[in-house]
A and B are shown apart, each in its own frame.
Chain A
Amino acid sequence: MKKLGEIALGIVTGIGGFLEAGSIATASQAGSEFGFQLAWVMLLGTASLACLMEMTGRLAAVSHRSYADLMRERFGVRFFLLPLVALLLVSFLSLAAEVGGVAITLEMATGISLRWWAIPVALLGWALLWRGTFGLMEKGTAIFGLVALVFAVGAFKLHPHWPDVAKALLPSTPSHDRARYWYIAVSVLGASISPYLYVFYSAGAIEGGWTVDDLGVNRMTVSLGNIFGGALAICVVVVAAMVLAPGHVKVDSFEPISRMLVTPLGEAGFVLFAATLFVTCFGTTLEIALAMAYLLAEGFGWAWSQNLRPSKDARFSMTYTVAILAAAVPIVLGMNPFALTNIAMVLTAASLPVTVLPLIVLMNDRRILYRDTNGWMSNAALVIISVMAIALFVAAIPLQVTGGG
């Protein structure tokens, strides 16, 4: 019964947790410029993320050590610097983008500029982290995240030609604007395969005291959660393709996206969109700030747990405090959250090799995983993801230059 509850929580987390500023922005760009055609990239990203989360969850359940912990211990402090710096950088940019996402919904609701909202949003997020426990946060974001289901409702009400959507799940190359197409593909992958997620997920497995008995739960939550989350993200592509693409609306801010759901759902669509963006960005803000604290604390061996009072893990709690407050700064200074999101997603994609490649060694080490090392299927998946990660590393920056603007 407890396990069923955990799986249910995992699925609910997947529904709301998958969508956030990055995925909503990139999915809308994909839909508005290329119709359904980029849906396959969303599928690829979701499947990759599911594999990586399953592996880091398995690592934590079997060895009782988190991803960051093992990266430091197995590869030494010198190598650890690489994923550490890359993760802190892209996580910080994403964090700022999420704070911006929350602030923009408040601007939509009140008319007061988002620059005024950044600090209050950061302070509210910080207060929740300071006072709340891991379980409370996890359940809170999961349940409120269900509002994201409006995208599914919206997509169905628009009556897309579903066989066309299904056809788009197979890879295809564009007939026009190649550079732009691949640029958006890279951003979509960066938005779906977020490294902070597996740092957070494996630390969560430690917080939850997972053991080998939880491997089944791990597999179920990760696959079902990502199926639902990925499907929802494809619904965003569908809505953008049906609503924005015919009018050739160029998506370069959250403004056009915010009216997207008005077509299928009426004025309520605007409110529901704002609520979705608010809740998912806010939940992700908390997750990224915590992931950064987990990463540093585990890597350097500080006391850490979201279930401890801050006085018991001062460095850990100061890390998320500084991160979340600092993330408000670019927004206060007037950086456009949408542009920030795009840069964060492309850099995330470029950073993937340093977080993915080490898994090849970790997941095949019998001294860590005993009987639960990767089978040939997991290894094949990991090799494919690694090759993709290297390709993203090579291509991301040139594509930002040629297809970004």
Chain B
Amino acid sequence: MLHLVHEVLDAQLLDRHDQKIGRIDDLVLELGDDGRPRVSAVLIGGSPRARRMGSWIAALARLFGLRETGVSRVPFAAVRRIGDDVALDVEQGDLSSERLERWLREHVVCRVPGSAGERK
């Protein structure tokens, strides 16, 4: 038995290497032929998040150029484990919701000295 709101929605997501890759911003339920809802996908990204924050936040987000292209839709079949966190069988590098992280890493952070290597 799984509680979708309590245990799944808003849960921390991990990728294949247990790296943090955002939270479950929404879940897609697909109604089967018999009308029975089945959990079909996980949505990660700014625009599903904004949609849940209420209609005028969503409108504001669209106004500021938040687009659906930054959203990742991961099939629920890719879930490896559900516990305190939800682990997915995906690569962080493949997710469009992680584009900002990659862009910042490559274009900003890595150009500053002391950004990589081991910490003392």
Contacts and interface: CB of A to CB of B under 8 A. Distances in A.
Whether A and B touch directly in their complex, counting CB atoms under 8 A apart, is answered as: yes
Interface in B2-30: 6, 9-13, 19-23, 25
A302 interface: yes
A309 B115 contact: yes
Interface string B53-96: 11001000000000000000000000000001000000000000
Contacts of A77: 10, 23, 25, 49, 52-53
B36 interface: no
A209 to B, nearest CB: 15
A81 B49 CA distance: 11
Contacts of B10: 72-73, 76-77
B53 A81 contact: yes
B100 A315 contact: yes
Interface residues of B, number: 34
Contact of B101 (A64, A307, A315): A315
B104 interface: yes
A169 to B, nearest CB: 43
Contact of A317 (B13, B53, B57, B109): B109
A78 B54 CA distance: 7
Interface in A227-272: none
Contacts of A69: 12
Nearest to B44: A301
B100 A131 contact: no
B84 A65 contact: yes
A133 interface: yes
A278 to B, nearest CB: 24
A231 B108 CA distance: 44
A304 interface: yes
Q: How many A residues are at the interface, by size bracket?
A: 20 to 34
Interface in A43-86: 63-65, 69, 72-73, 76-78, 81
A311 B12 contact: no
Interface in A351-387: 367
Given A76-B52, A314-B101, A314-B105, A301 B12 contact: yes
Nearest to A318: B104
A308 interface: yes
A402 B119 CA distance: 51
B112 A310 contact: yes
B109 A318 contact: yes
A78 B119 contact: no
A311 B84 CA distance: 26
Contacts of A309: 115-119
B108 A318 contact: yes
A317 B115 CA distance: 9
B104 A314 contact: yes
A108 to B, nearest CB: 31
Contacts of A144: none
B47 to A, nearest CB: 12
A130 B6 CA distance: 36
Interface in A285-323: 300-304, 307-311, 314-315, 317-318
Given A81-B57, A130-B114, A314-B109, A302 B52 contact: no
B31 interface: no
Given A78-B54, A315-B101, A73 B11 contact: yes
Nearest 7 Cβ contacts at the A-B interface = A301-B23, A314-B104, A314-B105, A301-B22, A303-B20, A310-B115, A311-B116
